[in-house]
Amino acid sequence: MSKKKSESYRRIGAMIGSPGDATEERQAITDTILKWNAANKAQGLWVEPVKWETHSTPGLDGRPQGMINEELIPQSDCLIAIFRARAGSPTGKELSGTIEEIREFMRVGKYVVVYFFEGMVPIKGIDPDQIKLIHQFKEEIQQKGLTESYSTVDELQAKLSVQLSGIVKKLTSRPASSRKSGSSRKAAPTSQLSIANKGKGPNKTKHSKAPSSSTRTKVDSSDRWALLGDSFLEAKTVRQNRDGTITAEVPSQSAEVDAAMASLRPHHYGRSKPVPFAHGNDAWIVTVREVESVSEGGEQLWTVVLAPEPVEYGGGSMEMSVQTQGKLYTADEIARMRAGRILLNDPPPLDDNKRPSGDIAMLEEAFLEAQIRGVSTPVTVNDCIIQVIYNEQRGKGVNFLKLARLGAIFMLKAGGVIEHVRKLTLGPVRNGKVHVEFVGVRRKKYVNADPTIIQLEGDCALEQGSKD
């Protein structure tokens, strides 16, 4: 059985800010960051593009730009801002959303990089008032530091490709107390939820068994277990309400479960962060609306009301085919590969010790790796969740197969693989491997065509990082 050293990265959040006329630039910056990640993987750093399109949570909770600031700035270590031919629209606080973002980043002492377009703009696309606002703001901030210019999107990419290493160096060399970063947070936004650290004190059943190298047990149900936030818990009831919310009752006789439930209470001054929830054969990304508890007969009964986020499970509208390494991969083929990683660690994560020799080959392999992990999916698929949960639950006296099944269902849905689970059976376990059978249905994309079915069957090595 081969073993691979687990990968560990320091995340750097790079928020991308711009008015609405810089769509092409936003994508170019995203692509440049992903290529930089591939080329600099050995440094143990991962720069995450943070954008309102992928990281903000919809809602009618207040001023739109204020909501974006509140949610995205804590997730970001720096801001990369672009101005093309428009300054943007007033926010009620500043002349534009991008200007407000720049001022907010500077106010909290976070690093800001600003690019100004100096190329040709079609006459019909020019608004003199907007151009004037850009020039006025440019003159103002050039008193506070250096700005950069570009004439084409290609030039922007070329400059950022060179300058990004310097930006990262400045960020990583700053004292931790001065970064004020949200990069070490455990609760992730919708686009970056993680369930890598599970098993924080679930209710222990009297007859549960510890993970072993061999067992005849086959599991096609998770019974009363539920995944909520970063904990596995035994639920008394789970009810889907008419208004679309979900109500779960969780009994507790331990301080650990009480602490896990209490930590879910929404903050008095803001909306709660999206968290994972899985039960039975379904899973959602949810926000917590209410948490209540009643003590009776020495047992605490917790009631939590959850609101599912408006997420496209099983393939979003942004999915597309990609060509790399001389092959065209359809969105369904990439989804199958992602399912293989979640359930079988096949394909395994890109290995630093087996980098291709040519730069182009390296970038193409890294590009495919980014697609498998998920570029615009609610969660990224970095590892085999069955291996992760096995290693987390080892020695805790819990039948890990039921918990691994729940974690896998969440990752399959939130990872953009399937919309519905038809079958997921784990077991038996033999010689350090668990047998997996899976059938899932992708989102239906066309009225006159059946949805794609994804089927997988194979053995997953339980040691984390092992494929064989």
Report the alpha-carbon distance of residue 245 to residue 309 in Å, rounded. Answer: 10
| Under-50 pLDDT residues of the chain | 1-7, 176-211, 355-357
> pLDDT at position 228, please?
95
Taking residue 42's Cβ as centre, other Cβ atoms within 10 Å add up to 9
Tens digits of residue pLDDT in 1-18: 444 444 456 889 999 999
| Residue 76 near residue 15 (C-beta atoms within 8 A) | yes
Report the alpha-carbon distance of residue 376 to residue 58 in Å, rounded. Answer: 16
SS (H, E, C) the chain: CCCCCCCCCEEEEEEEECCCCCHHHHHHHHHHHHHHHHHCHHHCEEEEEECHHHHCCCCCCCCHHHHHHHHHHHHCCEEEEEECCCCCCCCCCCCCHHHHHHHHHHHCCCEEEEEEECCCCCHHHCCHHHHHHHHHHHHHHCCCCCCEEECCHHHHHHHHHHHHHHHHHHHHHCCHHHHCCCCCCCCCCHHHCCCCCCCCCCCCCCCCCCCCCCECCCECCCCCEEEECCEEEECCEEEECCCCCEEEEEEECCHHHHHHHHCCCCCCCCCCCCEEEEECCEEEEEEEEEEEEEEECCEEEEEEEEEECCCCCCCCCCCCCEEECCEEECHHHHHHHHHHHHHHCCCCCCCHHHCCCCHHHHHHHHHHHHHHHCCCCCCCCCCCHHHHHHHHHCCCCCCHHHHHHHHHHHHHHHCCCCCEEEEEEEEEEECCEEEEEEEEECCCCCCCCCCCEEEEEEEEECCCCCCC
Cis peptide before 58 (omega within 30 of 0): no
Cα angle at 467 between 461 and 468, to 5 degrees? 75
**Structure token pair of residue 400:** 């890990």
62: left (phi over 0), alpha (psi -120 to 50) or beta: left
| Residue 246 near residue 239 (C-beta atoms within 8 A) | yes
> pLDDT at position 467, please?
64
Tens digits of residue pLDDT in 335-353: 999 999 999 999 998 865 5
> pLDDT at position 423, please?
97
> pLDDT at position 200, please?
37
> pLDDT at position 203, please?
42
Helices 359-373, 23-39: axis angle to 10 degrees equals 110
